[in-house]
Every structure is written in C-alpha cells, then in structure tokens.
Amino acid sequence: MSVSTLQSPRADAYVVHPERKLALYYVVTGLIFLAVGVAIGPAQALNYAGIDVYKYLPFLKSYYQGLTLHGVLNALVFTTYFISGLLIYLPSRELNLRPRLGFAWFTYWLMNFGVILAAIAILTNGSSVLYTFYPPLQGSPLFYIGAALLVVSSLLVGVQTLWLWAGWRDKHRGQLTPIVTYMCCATWCMWILASMGIVVETVFLLIPWSLGWTSGVDPLLSRTLFWWTGHPIVYFWLLPAYVSWYAFVPKQAGGKMLSEPLTRLTFALFLLVSVPVGLHHQYGDPGISTFWKLIQMSLTFVVALPSMITAFSVAASLENAARAKGGRGLLGWIRVLPWGEASFTAQVLAMVSFIFGGAGGIVNASMDLNQIIHNTAWIPGHFHITVGTATTLSFFGISFWLLPHLTGKPLWNPRLALWSVWTWFVGMMVFAVGMHWEGLLGIPRRAYISSLPSTVYADGARVPMALTGISGMILLISAVLYYAVVIRTLTGRQRDLENAPAIPFSEILSKATPTRFQKLIDDLGLLFWVGAILVLAVYLPSLIQMVQNPNLVKGWQLW
C-alpha cells in the first residue's frame, strides 16, 4: 500500500484534504441512524414507566421490533460509523498522510450496504432478535449478513488506518508513534482481535443456520462467541472518547495532556486485556466451568485499571488547566473550567456519568453481586451511562468542533448546543437512577411490562418508574435540541474552510522518550499477538468443550 505525503501550505482546505469529506460522510451517516434509534427511546422509557405507547406506533409491530431497532441503530450502527470516520481521520491528519480514497469510499458504501440489509430485515419484522441476536431466536439471513458486513467494513477501515501508520513507521524508524495515532491504532488493533468472535459466529454459525444449510445451532457456543466480541466492543465505543479526553479536552480546557507515557500505557493495557473477559456476561450460563468464569472475572478487574488511570490523569490535566487560570481551593478550581463551551462541557459531563457507569460495571463484574442484577432493568441502567453517555455525549461534544472543522461552517447556536448537552446528561442520569432501582426491585430487562396489569410488577416501584418515564421526555427534548444544532450547522450558508476550527491537539506536559520500554509498547503488532495468546488461553478450553458437546436447536421466531 502506498501513501502520499501532503505538503501544501493550504493544508486545511478540502482539495488538499479530501479525507475530510470521507470523515464527514461517516460521521453524518452515523448521526442520521442515531436520530432514528433515539426517536424510539422515549417509547422504551415509557414502557418502563408502565405506559404503553407501542399501540399508538402502527409502523412497529411489537415492542421487540422497536427495541431491536433502538439497540442496533444506537449501540451498533451509530457508534461504528462515528468511530470509523474519526479514527481514520485523526491519524491521517496527525501523520499528514492520505488514505487510499478509492478503497476508503468503497468501505463506506460497503458499510451502508450491510446496514441497509439489516434494516430491511428488521423493518419488515423479520428479525426482532434484539441487538445481541442470541439463538435460538432466529432472524432473517439478511440481518446476519448485514451485521457481518458492518463489522467487516469497520475492520477494513481499521486496516487502512494501520496501513497509514505502517507507512509512517517505515520512514521514521526509531521514533515513537505520535500519541493520537498511537491511541487510534491501539484501538483498531484491539477491535480486530475483539471482532473475531462475532465474525466466526455470524459467518460460520448464524448465516448458514438462517439459510437452512445447517440443522441447528448451539446457543451456548453462539453466545460465547458473541461475548468474545460483545464485551470488548464496549471499549471500541469508549476508547475513541478516551482519545478525545486525553488529547483534546485538556487543550479545550486551556491546559495540556499530563503524561504521554501514561497515556500510551493505558491504551497498551486495553489492547492486552480488553478481550479475554466476555464470560462476565455469562456467569449464569450453564455448561461453562466456574474456574474459567473466575479467571475472566479477575481479568475484568484488571481491565478496569486503565480506566482508573484515565480517571486520575484526565482529572489531573483538568485541574492543571484550571489552576493555571487562577483556580483555587480543593474543588474550587472546577468553577474556572470553560463551562460555557458546549464541546468541553459535553465531554466532562460524559466523564462524570462514567464515574457511576464504571462503578456499576464493577458491581456487574463481581460474580456474586451479578446474580442480583443480571437480566434486570439494572443492566440498561448501566449501559445508558456508559455507551449512552460516556460515549455518546462525548461524541456529541466532539461533533461540536468536528462538524465545523470538516465543513467550514460555524456551529449554529452554541447556547442551544450547551442546553442539549445538559439535558442529555440530566436525562441519562435520571434514567439510570430509575432503571438501576427498578432492577434492584427485580423488574426484568427487555420486558414489555407496560402491556401487563400494573399489579404484576409495579408494587413499590412507582417512584423509579416515574423517574424512568420522565427521563425519556427530558431525553426527547435533548435530542430535538441536539439535532436542531446539527442540522442548522450542516445547512448553514456560510463556509470558510481555511479558517475552520483546527483539531484541538493538546500539547504534552511530560513527553515520552524512546526508551526500551516505550519502544516495546510502541510495537502494537507484538502487543496484538500477546493479547491474542491470552484470549486463546482463556477461551479455548471452554470453546473446545462446547464444540465437542454440541446441543443443536432449531430456530424460534417468537414475534
């Protein structure tokens, strides 16, 4: 693969940087899918308030069709587009190298094709299998082919980014990879290792099964392969937000990234230990030995460490910025941070939500506590303050500078943008309180409870149910505000690419030097293989046992 170096003095214009357009298409397409997914959200929240609005939504055949659309579009589709655009664009700008555009656009259209197939399958009510698509629920082949294409095209974006990096390394032997590129490439390497489970599951088990080529499928084997990917996918969603928290938010706060070596160590740890932990989603599954569940539980606690490092180092970089501006006191410095800036505020509120999301994650990971909350409303409570806020609100914050940067059009109504950010944060926090609480009262997740008489589930749950319903309304308002800002920004007439906001790369307080250790963790290929060996070591014993004791079932369509 050849890469061309860009030397023009007009380094910021469209002609010189056609990859801007690519990133813009990815990001905007992702936001369009999110708009549809988010629009269904209030109906989900009202369900958990005991109010059934599904009967008024004639285009949805069931609660489960709505929930499938909501989960697939928000958690799988929006994230993959946004991340693909961002994580190929940032390294290409930092390294000043252009990706192969023909191939890059092919990948974009392949992703669209996959999503359209899956969308047809869901919209025609052929695949209300929810975003985890556990067998024996059986969707249409289009759904699984579409999902596989979505994953494969994201992998192709990753490979293109790694090619760019390899091209840079060839010309800069002995140097450490620039930090943003390092973070992006580590994320892509992690995703390549992570996605193997779902690729094997869809290609070898689910597609042949849904086409009727095999007599049945083993639910346990499929679920295990799913969670091989299903846990680390959460870091595929989180790490791009971390890229911004480490590399851009300090600059937006008026400060610097604290420590480059620590940042690199964090991402190296994620590459090593994100994947071999998926069994913490299967503590309740029979047929997997407790020994391997405990090993993966322990590794789950290890993978929380780089997030704890992140909490301290990002907070320190904010404190540093605030004190340089005259902030005083134990916590008084927080006041002088730029709370008037929507992009900054979105991301810091996303961080605050993640303090609670992360704490809940530790509860989930503890095998004994997990028994109390597994499959209850607690779980959606957990993931709306992780992927729904830590990730999504960070992406909103990023979009507030990225869209003007990519289009040359100024952000429309920054005040409204700020309102959208606060309402999203408040809405999600209230939702999380309501759902965690409902979960503790034993209300199951993914249940059409509003169709039942309230005496079945609502005793003692009135307050959390009310909170959940209210949060859905707050989030609806927030989404309207956010999309008003996005649409008016994109349709604005004024365009000045040359003076568009630059990518807010932060300066670094403590830079990494090419010591032996730093060179070692700069070798992402080596870390990838060490990570792969660890994954195989903790998964193969369970997988081999499942393959040797197949328990095939035919498909069910319960909707």
Catalytic annotation, residues: 231, 235, 382-384, 445-446
Q: Which residues pair with 257 in a beta bridge?
A: 508
114, containing H or E segment: helix 101-123
Q: Which residue is closest to Cu ion by CB?
A: 231
Question: What CA–CA distance (Å, rounded) separates 171 from 408?
Answer: 32
Q: Which does 436 bind (CB under 5 to 8 A by kind): ligand HAS, Cu ion, none?
A: none
Residue 400 within binding range of ligand HAS, rule CB under 6 A: no
Q: How far, CA to CA in Å, does 321 sit from each of 295, 307, 333?
A: 40, 21, 9
Residue 20 within binding range of ligand HAS, rule CB under 6 A: no
Least gap, CB of 223 to Cu ion (angstroms): 13
Residue 374 within binding range of ligand HAS, rule CB under 6 A: yes
Q: Evaluate whether 526 touches 64 at the Cβ level (below 8 Å).
A: no
Q: Which does 426 bind (CB under 5 to 8 A by kind): Cu ion, ligand HAS, none?
A: none
Residue 293 within binding range of Cu ion, rule CB under 5 A: no
**Considering only residues 227-246, where is the footprint of ligand HAS by CB under 6 A?**
234, 237-238
**Considering only residues 237-296, where is the footprint of ligand HAS by CB under 6 A?**
237-238, 280-281
Least gap, CB of 390 to ligand HAS (angstroms): 6
Residue 382 within binding range of Cu ion, rule CB under 5 A: no
CA 253 to chain CA centroid, nearest Å? 24
Which residue in 248, 354, 395, 539 binds ligand HAS (CB under 6 A)? 354
Question: What CA–CA distance (Å, rounded) separates 512 from 507?
Answer: 12
Start-to-end CA distance of the chain, whole Å, equals 48
Q: Evaluate whether 518 touches 450 at the Cβ level (below 8 Å).
A: no
Residue at token pair 């939500």 = 353
Least gap, CB of 142 to ligand HAS (angstroms): 22
Per-position b or e across 241-280, b if 16+ CB within 10 A of its CB: bbbbbbbbbbbbbbbbbbbbbbbbbbbbbbbbbbbbbbbb
Residue 223 within binding range of Cu ion, rule CB under 5 A: no
Residue 365 within binding range of ligand HAS, rule CB under 6 A: yes
* Residue (97 or 538) nearer to ligand HAS, CB: 538
Least gap, CB of 226 to ligand HAS (angstroms): 10
Residue 557: count other Cβ atoms within 10 Å of its Cβ.
14
Least gap, CB of 371 to ligand HAS (angstroms): 9
Residue 478 within binding range of ligand HAS, rule CB under 6 A: no
In this chain, which stretch among 36-44, 224-232, 261-269, 388-396 interacts with Cu ion, using CB under 5 A? 224-232
Residue 215: count other Cβ atoms within 10 Å of its Cβ.
9
Question: What CA–CA distance (Å, rounded) separates 486 from 230?
Answer: 30
The DSSP bridge pattern shows strands 257-259 and 97-98 to be unpaired
506 φψ region: left (φ > 0), alpha (ψ -120 to 50), beta (else): beta
Least gap, CB of 234 to Cu ion (angstroms): 6
Size of the site for ligand HAS (CB under 6 A): 36
Which residue in 114, 358, 408, 531 binds ligand HAS (CB under 6 A)? 358
Which residue in 315, 416, 426, 480 binds ligand HAS (CB under 6 A)? 315
Which residue in 248, 383, 395, 412 binds ligand HAS (CB under 6 A)? 383
Question: What CA–CA distance (Å, rounded) separates 96 from 211?
Answer: 46
Q: Which does 386 bind (CB under 5 to 8 A by kind): ligand HAS, Cu ion, none?
A: ligand HAS
Question: What CA–CA distance (Å, rounded) separates 235 from 228?
Answer: 12
Question: What CA–CA distance (Å, rounded) separates 461 from 523?
Answer: 52
Footprint of Cu ion (CB under 5 A): 231
Q: Which residues contribute to the site for ligand HAS (CB under 6 A)? A: 132, 234, 237-238, 280-281, 300, 303-304, 307-308, 310-311, 314-315, 318, 334, 348, 351-352, 354-355, 358, 361-362, 364-365, 370, 374, 379, 382-383, 386-387, 390-391
